[in-house]
Amino acid sequence: MNHAPAAQQHITVLQQEVVHGLAVVPGGTYVDCTLGAGGHAAAVLAASSPGGRLLGIDADPRAIRAAERRLQEWRGQCVLVNDTFANLQAVCASLGFTRVNGVYFDLGLSSLQLSEPERGFSFQADAPLDMRFGPLQSRTAADAVNDLPQDELARVLWIYGEEPRSYAIARRIVAARPVRSTGVLARIIAGVYRGPRGRIHPATRSFQALRIWVNDELGALGTALRQAVPVTGPGGRICVISFHSLEDRMTKQWFRQESTDCICPPGLPVCVCGHQATLKLITRRHIAPSEEEVERNPRARSAKLRIAERI
C-alpha cells in the first residue's frame, strides 16, 4: 500500500451514519473526541447549522492544524483543543460544553498519521520506532521493543494485537535488541513466519499492538466513555466507531452495563449495587459500512458503529 498521496486525502468513515446516529439538530452542541482531519466535524457542523457549536479534541497537534483548515467555514462555531479524550470532562467543563446534544469517537489510526513515515506508525518506510499520537506522551514503541521483559512484550502483542505467534516474535525481538527502526522490526517479525503470506503483512498485528500500548488506547477509551455520560444531556447521543475487536467489545459492554439498572452478580436475592441505567441502546447490533463505502474506502471494512442515548 502506498500511503503518501492516498493517506493525505483522508476519507471519513461512516460519515452520514454518525450524523444520523447523533440525531443532529440545528443549534445543537457536539463534541468530537477524535477530531482528525475534521471530516465528521464538518458534516456535524453543516447539519447543526444555523447555530450549531462543536468542540473538537485531538491528541495530535498536526491533526488540529489540518482540521482548522478544513473547518474555516465554521470558524466561529467550533473550538479545537489539543488534548487527549481521556480528559474529556475537564476539557468540556472549561469551555462550557456541558449537557451537550452528542459526543462521538472515531477510534484508531488516522490517514494523517500514516502519511508521515517519520512518526513510525507504518512499516512501509524505515523510520524511528515512535508511534505516539502526541509529542507530549512519554513512552514510545522503542521503549516497548527494547525495554519490556520478554514475557511482558509477548503479552502486549497477544492482548492488543491478537498475534498468535506473540511469544516467538517476542523472543526474536529480545535476541535482536537494540531494535531502533520500523523496517528492522518488520523484518524480525516477518522472519518468524514461514511459507506463503496471507492477506496482511506479518507485522501488521504487532505494529497495531505496540501503537495501542504506546498510547494507552484502551485505558483512555474506558476513561472517556465514563466521562461521556455526564457530559451528555438527556436525549443526547454517544456514538463510537471502532476498528479493533477489543475497542468494540469494550464499547459494547459499557453501553450494555449503562443501559441496565442492576449490575449485581447473578444469584443475589436482592440488588446491592444501587446502579441505575444512564443510557438507552439505540443500536443492539453494530452498524457496518455499506459495500459501496468499502469499495470506495477499503479502510472502512472493519469499522463498527455503536450508538446509545442519554436518559
CATH class of 138-214: mainly alpha
Using the predicted structure, report yes or no on whether residue 29 has a pLDDT greater than 90: yes
CA–CA–CA angle 122, 156, 247 (5° rounding): 75
> Taking a C-beta distance cutoff of 8 angstroms, is the pair 52, 191 a contact?
no
10 Å Cβ neighbour count for 151? 11
Using the predicted structure, report yes or no on whether residue 9 has a pLDDT greater than 70: no
**CA dihedral (190, 216, 54, 16) positive or negative:** positive
CA distance 245 to 160: 9
> Taking a C-beta distance cutoff of 8 angstroms, is the pair 21, 282 a contact?
yes
> Given this model, what pLDDT does residue 196 score?
66
Segment 8-24 shows an average pLDDT of 88
At residue 108 the predicted structure's pLDDT band, cuts being 50, 70 and 90, is confident
> Taking a C-beta distance cutoff of 8 angstroms, is the pair 19, 121 a contact?
no
Mean pLDDT estimate for the chain: 92
Residue ranges of the chain that CATH labels 3.40.50.150: 4-112+217-310
Taking alpha carbons only, the member of 213, 197, 238, 5 closest to residue 101 is 238
Record: fold of 4-112+217-310 = Rossmann fold (3.40.50)
- At a CB cut-off of 8 Å and minimum separation 6, what does 258 contact? 229, 277, 278, 279, 308
Residue ranges of the chain that CATH labels 1.10.150.170: 138-214
Q: C-alpha 293: how far from its chain's center?
A: 19
**Exposed / middle / buried, residue 265 (Cβ in 10 Å: 0-12, 13-18, 19+):** exposed
Segment 97-117 shows an average pLDDT of 86
Q: What is this structure's pTM?
A: 0.91
